[in-house]
């Protein structure tokens, strides 16, 4: 039997690459696994040899100590790989298939999955709706920043790439289908972006950049990206976005006015989430600032979406209310402007196939948009540290040396 190694959370600010158990088609007891999920049989699943698996900003929330994640959890929910074993009940997937794994663990059988709401599946997490790989409070499914990983409900979940050689040629783009490209696209769709739209995207990390590119694909006339990090804003400008440096310009509406001739946009996308900081040179933690900015700059009757993560428990928050997800949001302004607000995790499966086709037919350039950089599994801890420092890169782990030279 092959060995297995993975990226393991070791406490506040620390990850290490360790030997972990080689997966089988059972969810075993371990860090973060609810008692009701221990021993769960997954003959509907497959074992995947990870070809590429990415570091996500969502992972950083846990590593920074801003969640209640258990030490010892194997991290990672962005998985692309080759099937090396199939369960007894798998009918349509076979050994050798190259597949993308949506980050949502979903059964395909409950009423939410049947509606396409795979981000709130009712059967994979006994503690609340929704499951994910290697993430706090999401069912205890083992993460995929590893050499091998088990994926349940394979016939329902997996997106098989139609041509193996073509997939390998485009895999640095296709690996973004597991999370950030669908998440950015979902953010743009839920914000109501359409041909001729003006859009404000808060945050120039990988999800924000993916949202900005998605808005362009949907026909937006102007995409404005705001961030405190000039290096990341430079990356946004590299593919045609307007930008606002929030360290230099605290008034977002005033800067939008300089760009559009009006202080309001048709829609906005919050790609930051609960670890937001206020604008200006003396910025500090302000978890509601992006939500309040969106209510300020989105026109009356407009929409904004929130693909950025907000949590019910944030032990690292300075404000006592924020520690339990209670934020000081100017809801009265949003109500008075009749805003439509869309929240929640992304049902990644909903968009994977169409975005795959956009990549394969060279209509989307997502790897360049997010400045993907391939690293080895052993380099993952440094990748986490570099990403946390704010570099304008999307770190992609190559566990078996397929891409890393």
Q: What is the DSSP letter of 141?
A: B
pLDDT for the residue 205: 97
Residues forming beta bridges with residue 151, ordered by sequence position: 46
User: 279, 255 in Cβ contact below 8 A?
Assistant: no
- CATH of 5-179+347-398 among 3.40.718.10, 3.40.50.300, 3.90.180.10, 3.10.450.50: 3.90.180.10
Three-state SS at 130: coil
Please report, for the chain, how many H helices and E strands are present, in that order.
14, 19
pLDDT at 375 over 70: yes
3 state DSSP class of 78: strand
d(CA 66, CA 45): 32
Whole-number Å distance between alpha carbons of 24 and 42: 9
For 17-65, how does the pLDDT look when each residue is reduced to its tens digit (9 = 90+)? 999 999 999 999 999 999 999 999 999 999 999 999 999 999 999 999 9
Please give the residue that has the higher pLDDT: either 278 or 333.
333
- As a whole number of Å, the end-to-end CA separation of the chain is 27
Structure tokens at 289: 């600032």
Rounded distance between C-alpha atoms, residue 396 and residue 166, angstroms: 19
Better-scored residue on pLDDT, 282 or 365: 365
Taking all residues of the chain, what is their mean pLDDT, rounded to a whole number? 96
Task: State the Cα–Cα distance between residues 390 and 371, nearest whole angstrom.
Answer: 13
Q: Decide if 132 contacts 77 (C-beta within 8 A).
A: yes
For the cut 60, the answer to whether the pLDDT of residue 1 exceeds it is no
How many CB atoms are closer than 10 A to CB 404? 14
**Burial annotation 188-200 (CB, 10 A radius, 16+ → b, else e):** bbbbbbbeebbbb
Phi, psi of 342 (to 5 degrees): -120, 125
Coil, helix or strand at residue 86 = strand
Query: For 295-307, how does the pLDDT look when each residue is reduced to its tens digit (9 = 90+)?
Result: 999 999 999 999 9
For a pLDDT cut of 90, what percent of the chain falls above it? 95
Report the CATH fold assignment for 184-343: Rossmann fold (3.40.50)
| pLDDT value at residue 61 | 93
pLDDT at 405 over 60: no
At 365, the pLDDT band (50, 70, 90 cuts) reads very high
* C-beta of residue 43 within 8 angstroms of C-beta of residue 14: no
Tokens of 139: 């069912």
Residues 44 and 11 sit within 8 Å (Cβ to Cβ): no
**What are the CA-CA distances from residue 225 to residues 129, 204, 262, 381 (Å)?**
32, 7, 16, 29
Nearest to 226 by CA among 289, 318, 284: 289
Give backbone dihedrals phi and psi of 97, rounded to 5 degrees, phi first. Answer: -65, 140
149 touches 80 (CB < 8 A): no
Nearest of 279, 233, 229 to residue 254 by alpha carbon:
279
| For range 192-200, the mean pLDDT | 98
pLDDT in tens, 98-150: 999 999 999 999 999 999 999 999 999 999 999 999 999 999 999 999 999 99
**265 touches 297 (CB < 8 A):** yes
Q: Indicate if the pLDDT at residue 2 is higher than 80.
A: no
A 10 A CB-CB count for 26 gives 13
From the list 20, 135, 150, the residue with the least C-alpha distance to 70 is: 135
Could you read off the pLDDT of 259-315 as tens digits, one per residue?
A: 999 999 999 999 999 999 988 766 688 999 999 999 999 999 999 999 999 999 999
Q: Where are the domains of the chain?
A: 5-179+347-398, 184-343
- Residue 282 is predicted with a pLDDT of 67
């Amino acid at each position: 039997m092959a060995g297995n190694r993975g990226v393991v959370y070791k406490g506040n600010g620390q990850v290490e690459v360790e030997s972990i158990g080689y997966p089988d088609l059972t969810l075993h007891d371990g860090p973060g696994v609810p008692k009701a999920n221990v021993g769960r049989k997954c003959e509907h699943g497959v074992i995947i040899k990870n070809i590429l698996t990415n570091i996500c900003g969502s992972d950083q929330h846990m590593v920074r100590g801003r969640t209640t994640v258990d030490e010892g959890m194997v991290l990672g929910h962005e998985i692309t790989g080759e099937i090396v074993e199939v369960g007894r009940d798998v009918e349509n997937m076979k050994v050798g298939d190259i597949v993308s794994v949506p980050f949502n663990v979903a059964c395909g059988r409950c009423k939410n999955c049947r509606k396409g709401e795979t981000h709130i599946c009712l059967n994979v997490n006994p503690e609340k709706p929704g499951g994910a790989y290697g993430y706090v409070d999401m069912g205890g499914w083992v993460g995929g920043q590893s050499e091998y990983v088990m994926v349940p409900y394979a016939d329902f979940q997996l997106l098989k790439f139609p041509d193996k050689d073509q997939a390998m040629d485009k895999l640095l783009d296709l690996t973004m289908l597991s999370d950030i490209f669908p998440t950015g696209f979902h953010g743009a769709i839920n914000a109501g972006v359409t041909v001729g739209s003006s859009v404000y995207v808060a945050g120039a990390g990988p999800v924000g950049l993916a949202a900005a590119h998605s808005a362009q694909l949907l026909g937006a006339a102007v995409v404005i990206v705001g961030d405190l990090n000039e290096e990341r804003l430079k990356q946004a400008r590299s593919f045609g976005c307007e930008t606002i440096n929030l360290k230099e310009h605290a008034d977002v509406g005033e800067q939008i006015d300089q760009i559009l001739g009006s202080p309001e946009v048709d829609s906005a996308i919050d790609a930051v989430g609960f670890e937001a900081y206020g604008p200006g040179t003396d910025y500090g933690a302000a978890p509601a600032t992006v939500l309040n900015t969106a209510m300020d700059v989105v026109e009356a009757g407009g929409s904004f979406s929130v693909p950025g993560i907000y949590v019910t428990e944030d032990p690292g928050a300075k404000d006592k209310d924020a520690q339990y997800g209670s934020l000081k949001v100017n809801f009265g302004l949003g109500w008075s402007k009749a805003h439509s607000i869309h929240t929640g995790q992304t049902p990644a499966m909903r968009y994977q196939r169409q975005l795959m086709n956009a990549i394969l037919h060279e209509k989307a350039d997502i790897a360049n948009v997010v400045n993907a950089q391939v690293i080895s599994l052993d380099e993952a801890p440094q990748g986490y540290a570099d990403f946390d420092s704010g570099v304008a890169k999307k770190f992609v782990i190559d566990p078996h040396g397929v891409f890393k030279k």
